[in-house]
């Protein structure tokens, strides 16, 4: 069973007090509270950039499917996994419609 925070209808919201740097296809996030640096590959970067608090994981997965030509199942796995990891690292908060 998936954790509650990464359900398809979860709406992840980026923290706005971290710094985000795009560098080529990747991105680095610096969290000043934890003194931690996070490296995002191009897929994780796409997911992060769509975590604006209005789009659900399902919606982000659908975008990922179109943009990256990924299978819906793979896109959903990627989004849920990446969002879960970012939540665990304190970079995202999540809400849902239900």
Partner 1 sequence: MTAALTAQINSTAIDLNRENPFTSPIVADRVRLRLGVIDAEIASSIEGLADEYAELYRGYDNHDGGANITVQVERGRSRYTMGRRFVISGSEGRMFSVRRIEEVLPHVEWALNWEVVRRMDGYLQLHAGVMEREGVGVAFPAAPGSGKTTLCAGLLARGWRFLSDEFALIDNEGMIHPYPKALCIKEGSFAVMEHLGLPMVQPRRYRKGKKGRVAYVNPRFAGDESLGRKCRLAHVVFPKYASGATPRLRTITRGETGFELAQLSFNLRKKSSVGMAMLMGALQTADCHRLASGEIDATCDLIEKTLLG
Question: Which of 24, 15, 19, 25 lies closest to 89, judged by CA?
Answer: 15
From the list 27-35, 49-57, 58-66, 70-78, the region that binds partner 1 by CB under 8 A is: 27-35
Please pick, from the candidates 3, 39, 73, 95, the single residue that binds partner 1 as defined by CB under 8 A: 39
CB atoms within 10 A of CB 3: 12
Cβ proximity of 57 and 8 under 8 Å = yes
- Quick one: tokens of 81? 């996994």
Please pick, from the candidates 5, 11, 44, 57, the single residue that binds partner 1 as defined by CB under 8 A: 44
Q: Which residues bind partner 1 (CB under 8 A)?
A: 19, 21, 23-28, 30, 32, 34-41, 44, 82, 85, 89
């Amino acid at each position: 069973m998936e954790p509650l925070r990464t359900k398809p209808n979860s709406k992840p919201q980026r923290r706005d007090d971290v710094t985000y740097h795009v560098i080529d296809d990747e991105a680095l996030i610096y969290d000043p509270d934890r003194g931690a640096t996070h490296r995002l590959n191009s897929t994780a970067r796409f997911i992060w950039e769509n975590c604006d608090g209005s789009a659900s994981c399902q919606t982000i997965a659908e975008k990922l499917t179109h943009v990256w030509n990924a299978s819906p199942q793979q896109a959903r796995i990627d989004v849920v996994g990446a969002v879960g990891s970012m939540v665990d690292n304190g970079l995202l908060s999540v809400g849902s419609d239900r």
